[in-house]
Amino acid sequence: MTNQIKPAILMLLFFTVLTGIAYPLAVTFSAQTLFSSQANGSLLGSNELPLGSELIGQAFSRPEYFWGRPSATSPASYNGGASSGSNQGPTNPALIDAVQARIKALRDADPSHLEAVPVDLVTASASGLDPHISPAAATYQISRVAKARQMSPNSVSELVDRYTEARQWGILGEPRVNVLKLNLALDQHLK
């Protein structure tokens, strides 16, 4: 039985070199050559002045911006250095309280708007970094953003439509709106 010790150690060494060094280096080299932007985090803006990552949401709380999903990361929300979900169960009173507070914040920011709130706008995402909201959640916020920016709801709505992504290939995933890109467009950083 002990005659297998030597091959065990040597095999581990060779597999470590192959799958732990050569393989990740080969993938990194190919990825940086073929897909340099994606491999480095899909950053928006320029290298000198990055505006954020297209794939990672940011926190928005002012009325003139579209708000993203609630985020459970700590110490601040949308902490891209420490992803986390809330892990609150469906019967946890803390979840119910949190959802209630989020509904109140939305209502307070736009008191005349009384429609039912789309669920994704008041529930924490899995990653705490979800860059998207549903088209329903974007539509819900149009009146607030339009008022705060003194724009017509129609022109805000047109922007929302422009930043609404359909299902990939028409089939996969869910339709969604990229909150950061939409807000950058409102600020006229993106065309």
Partner 1 sequence: MTANGLVQITLYFVALLLLAKPLGVYMAAVYENRPLLLKRILGPLEAGFYRLSGVNPEQEMGWKSYAAALLWFNLFGGLAVFALQMLQAHLPLNPQQMANVTVDSAFNTAVSFATNTNWQGYSGETTMSYLTQMLGLSVQNFVSAATGMAVLVAMIRGFQRTHADGIGNFWADLTRGTLYILLPLSFVLALVLVGQGVVQTFKPYQTIPLVEQVSTATEKTTQTLAVGPAASQIAIKQLGTNGGGFFNVNSAHPFENPTPLANFLEMLLLILIPAALCHTFGTMVGDPRQGWAILSAMTLVLVSLLFVTVGYEQGGNPALAALGVEQSVSVDQSGGNMEGKETRFGIVNSAIWATATTAASNGSVNSMHDSYTPLGGMIPMWLIQLGEVIFGGVGSGLYGMLIFVLIAVFVAGLMIGRTPEYLGKKIEAFEIKMAAIVILIPAFFILGGTSLAIMVEAGKSAVANPGAHGFSEILYAFSSAAGNNGSAFAGLSANSPFYNTALGITMLFGRYGIMIPVLAIAGSLAAKKTVPTTVGTLPTHTPLFVMLLIGTVVLVGALTFVPALALGPVVEHLIMNTAL
Q: Smallest gap, in angstroms, from Cβ of residue 145 to partner 1? A: 13
- Rule CB under 8 A: is residue 6 a binding residue for partner 1? yes
Kindly tell me the burial class for residue 75, based on how many C-beta atoms sit within 10 Å of its own C-beta (0-12, 13-18, 19 or more). exposed
- Rule CB under 8 A: is residue 163 a binding residue for partner 1? no
- Rule CB under 8 A: is residue 141 a binding residue for partner 1? no
Nearer Cβ to partner 1, position 105 or 119?
119
Closest among 123, 105, 3 to 61, alpha carbons compared: 105
Longest dimension (CA), the chain: 80
Side chain identity at 32, as an amino acid letter?
Q
Per-residue contact flags (x/-) with partner 1 for residues 90 to 129, judged by CB under 8 A: xxxx-xx--xx--x-----------xxxxxx-xxxxxxxx
Please give the helix or strand (H or E) that residue 78 lies within, else none. Answer: none
Per-residue contact flags (x/-) with partner 1 for residues 40 to 79, judged by CB under 8 A: xxxx------xxxxxxx-xxxxx--x---x------x-xx
